[in-house]
Chains A and B, each alone.
Chain A
Amino acid sequence: MSDAGQVDDLTQVAANLNKLAEFALDTAKNLGADAAKISTGASFQKRLVVDNKEFTLANSLASRSIGIVVHKDQKKGSASVNITTEDSIKHAVESALALAKYSVPDPALIFATKAEAPPASPLNFLYEEKLATVELDQMREIMQEVLGRLGADERLALERYEMSVDISFHALGSTTGMRQAERQTMASWSFMGMGRTEGEVTGFDYDGNFSLNAAGILPRSLVDADQFVKRVLGMIKPVRCPSYRGPILLTPRAVQELLMGMMLYHAGGRQVMDGKSRWDKAVGTRVVADSFTLTDSPHDPRFSGATAFDGDGVPTRSQTILERGVLLRHLHDCYSAKRCGATTTATSGGPFALSLSPGNVPLKELTGGQSQLLVVDRFSGNSDPIKGDFSGVAKSSRLYVNGEDRGSVTETMISGNFFAIADAVLGISRESEIVSGSFSSPYVLIDGVSVTGQ
Chain B
Amino acid sequence: MKQILQQLVAGHSGFIELRYHKRTSNSFVAQKGRVDVANHSVTEGVGVRALVGSAWGFAATADISEAAIKRAIRQAQYNASALAKVRAKGELSLARGRLSHLDFTGPGFNELVAMPLADKLGQIVSLERKLAQASSHMHTARCRYNEIIEEKSIVTSDGAACSLRIAQPELSLTAIAEKDGERATGQRGAGVNGGWECLMAHPSLHDAVGETAKIAVDLLAAKYPEGGQKTVILSPAVVGLLCHEAIGHTVEADFVKAGSVAQGKIGQRVASDLVTMADSGNETIAGYAVGNLPFDDEGVETENTVIIENGILRSYLHNRETAAEFGVQPTGNARAWLFNDEPLIRMRNTYLMPGTRHLADMIAEVDDGYLVEGAGSGQADANGEFMFGTGYVYRIKDGKKTELLREATLSGIAFDVLKTVDAVSQEFLWDLGTGYCGKGQAAKVDAGGPYVRCKITVGGEQQ
Contacts and interface: CB of A to CB of B under 8 A. Distances in A.
Nearest to B250: A201
Overall SS of chain A's interface: strand
A61 B41 CA distance: 20
A375 interface: no
A103 B121 CA distance: 7
B180 interface: no
Contacts of A136: 79, 82
A194 B32 CA distance: 45
A92 B24 CA distance: 12
Interface in B203-240: 224, 227-228
Interface stretch (B155-163, B254-262, B312-320, B362-370): B254-262
Contacts of B175: none
Interface in A349-392: 380-382, 384, 386-387, 389, 391-392
Given A57-B57, A60-B58, A140-B82, A415 B385 contact: no
A397 interface: no
Contacts of A60: 58-60, 75-76, 79
A214 interface: no
Contacts of A83: 42, 44, 62
Interface in A99-131: 99-104, 106
Interface stretch (A20-28, A71-79, A167-175, A323-331): A71-79
B78 A59 contact: no
B248 to A, nearest CB: 15
A202 B382 contact: yes
A382 B407 contact: yes
Given A55-B83, A79-B41, A104 B62 contact: no
A93 B140 CA distance: 31
A62 interface: yes
B457 A245 contact: no
A450 interface: yes
Given A274-B32, A450-B460, A413 B409 contact: yes
Contacts of B86: 55, 140, 144
A16 to B, nearest CB: 12
A415 B41 contact: no
Contact of B40 (A56, A95, A194): A95
Interface stretch (B98-106, B373-381, B430-438): B373-381
A62 B62 contact: yes
Category for how many chain A residues contact B = 35 or more
A275 B83 CA distance: 54
Given A58-B55, A159-B258, A393 B411 contact: yes
B385 A203 contact: yes
Given A55-B83, A391-B459, A92 B118 contact: no
A392 B42 contact: no
A270 to B, nearest CB: 9
A137 B82 contact: yes
B201 interface: no
Contacts of B82: 58, 136-137, 140
B463 interface: yes
B40 A78 contact: yes
A55 B87 contact: yes
Contacts of B462: 243-245, 450-452
Contacts of B121: 99, 102-103
B83 A58 contact: yes
Residue picked from A64, A159, A380, most chain B C-beta under 10 Å: A380
A1 B78 contact: yes
Interface in B51-75: 55-62, 74-75
B14 interface: no
B56 A58 contact: yes
A81 interface: yes
Contacts of B118: 98-99, 101-102
B165 interface: no
B43 interface: yes
Given A1-B78, A391-B459, A80 B383 contact: no
B154 interface: no
Given A58-B80, A386-B176, A76 B377 contact: no
A410 interface: yes
B425 interface: no
Nearest to B255: A159
Contacts of B185: 384, 386
B90 interface: no
Interface of A: 1-2, 48, 51-52, 54-64, 75-84, 88, 92, 95-96, 98-104, 106, 136-137, 140, 144, 157-160, 193-194, 196, 201-204, 243-245, 274-276, 380-382, 384, 386-387, 389, 391-393, 395, 410-411, 413, 415, 450-452
11 contacts: A51-B258, A55-B86, A55-B87, A58-B82, A59-B57, A59-B59, A63-B340, A80-B42, A81-B43, A202-B382, A386-B185
